[in-house]
Amino acid sequence: MADLPQDIIRIKRDGRALSKGQIEQFVAGVVSGEFRDYQASALLMAIVLKGMTAEETAHLTDAMMRSGRVLALPEVQRPKVDKHSTGGVGDKVSLILAPLAAACGLCVPMMSGRGLGHTGGTLDKLEAIPGFTVSLDDPAYRAQLLKIHQAMIGQSADMVPADRKLYALRDVTSTVESVPLICASILSKKLAEGIDALVLDVKCGSGAFMKTEADARNLAESLVRISSAMGKPTTALLTRMDAPLGLAVGNALEVNEAIACLKGEGPQDLMEVTYALTAEMLLLGGLYTDRDTARARLEAAIADGSALRAFRELVAAQGGDPRIIDEPSRLPVAPHTHDVCYPSETPAFVESIDALSIGEAARLLGAGRAHADAEIDLSVGIELMKKPGDSVVTGEPICRVYYSQPDELAAALKRIENAFTFSPNAPAIPALVVDRIFSH
C-alpha cells in the first residue's frame, strides 16, 4: 500500500531515511502530479535540512533517471564516455573536448544545458554557430554517433522529466544547495545517455557554484560514489574557477576561442584543463592505462589537425556552417567594442581577476540570463587581454568589451573594473587542477 505524500514528508522532516519504494513513489508522483507542487517543495526543503544517506541518494538518482526514456546504445562499439562540468565563467571545454576525444577513439554522447546567471551554457555557445541545431531525434542521434562518434544536444522532453519539474521547484524555493539533490539532478541526466563511464569537472572558487574547495570536494566525492555504485566508472577533477577560464567570455567569442584551441593556438590554462579532463576520459574508456601516454595522444590530435577535422564534422552534421572555422566573422559580431585600460601610472602585475564579477558583467551585456526564459545576445561578451601574473603599464588594455547597447556597457564596466586587482609583485599562480577523485 502506497504512503500518503504527507507521510513521506514527515519521515524526512523527522530526519529518518526514506525507503527505495517511498522515493520511487515521490518521483513518480512529481511526474504524474499526484505530489502537488507544495508537497514536493516541502519534501525538497526537508531533504535540504535533514540530508540524505548515500543509499537514499542512489535511489533518488535511479528513480529520476527512470522517470523517462533511458537510452541504450548497443550498436556503438566504441567506449561511450561523457564529461560534465558544474559550470563556470569562460568554460568552453566541452566544445574542444568532444571532438578531441572522438578523434582519439572514444564515442561522446553529450547532452548539455543552457546557461543561467553568470555561468555560460554549452547549448547557447553551440547556437552561436549559424544553423547549428541542438535538437536531434533518436534515429538521427544514433546515426550521428555511429558515423562521427560525437553529438552535442539538449535534453529531450521524454528524458528525465522528473528533473525538469524538480529543478523548477528548487529554483524558486531556495532548495538548490543540497548535495544529494545536486547529485541526483546531474547523474540522472548523464546516466540516461547510455554511457559507459563519466568524467566530472567540479569547480571551486568565486565563479563556481561551490565557492570553497571543501564544498566542491564533498560534492565530487558524492558524485563519484553514487555514479560508481550505479555501475558507471567515474572520475572527478577538482579545478579552480577563481579567474575566468581562457580569455573569452560570451557565446560567439567562446566558440572562436574553442576553434583556436583546436588549431593549437589556445590559451594555456584552458588547454591544461581540457587535456586533463580528456585524458581521464581516455583512461576510463580503456584506451590507455597511462596518463602521460593519453596526454601525448591528445596533443598529437591537436597537432595533426584530426581534432579540428572532428569539430568540422560535428558542426556540419548538426546543420551548422563549417565555414566559421576558417572565417570567424561568420559568427555573430557585436556592433561595438570598448577597451578597458590599466589606470595607474605605476607599472604592476595583474594579481587576480574575479570570475564572478566578469561573469556578471557578461550577463549584464546580454550574454547570460537572469531567468530561464530570458533572451540572450550571442554576439556580446568580454575578451581578457591580461591574465593573473601578466605585467601592465599605464594605458595598456586589460580587456575588450563587445556590446550592443550603451546602457548595457555602463552597467558592465563597473563590474569589470572591480574584477581586477593589481600588485607590484608577480603573484604565485596555483595549479588549476586541485585534485583527482576516483572510485577505488
- The type of residue at 322 is P
Q: Which residues contact 94 (CB under 8 A, 6 or more apart)?
A: 83, 85, 110, 112, 122, 152
Catalytic choice (41, 67, 156, 185) = 185
Residue 335 three-state SS:
coil
Q: Which residues contact 301 (CB under 8 A, 6 or more apart)?
A: 100, 103, 104, 307
Residue 371, judged by CB atoms within 10 A of its CB (0-12, 13-18, 19+), counts as: exposed
Could you confirm whether 185 is annotated as catalytic? Answer: yes
Round to whole Å and give the CA distance between 99 and 83: 12
Q: Which of 424, 357, 416, 350 is nearest to 389 (CA)?
A: 350
Catalytic choice (164, 170, 203, 240) = 170
* ∠ Cα 316 321 363 (to 5°): 115
Residue 401's alpha-carbon distances to 124, 270, 361, 412, in angstroms, are 19, 20, 10, 9
Could you confirm whether 329 is annotated as catalytic? Answer: no
Question: What interhelical angle do 291-303 and 93-103 show, nearest 10?
Answer: 100
DSSP 8-state symbol, 329: G
Cβ–Cβ under 8 Å, residues 58 and 24: no
Strands (E) across 326-373 are located at 336-341, 348-353
Q: Which of 228, 198, 235 is nearest to 106 (CA)?
A: 198
Catalytic choice (84, 92, 125, 203) = 84
Could you confirm whether 174 is annotated as catalytic? Answer: no
Residue 241 three-state SS:
coil
Catalytic choice (189, 217, 232, 415) = 189
Could you confirm whether 163 is annotated as catalytic? Answer: yes
Residue 32 three-state SS:
helix
Q: Which of 340, 361, 338 is nearest to 412 (CA)?
A: 361
DSSP 297-308: HHHHHHHTSHHH
- The type of residue at 104 is C
Active-site residues: which are they? 84, 163, 170, 185, 189
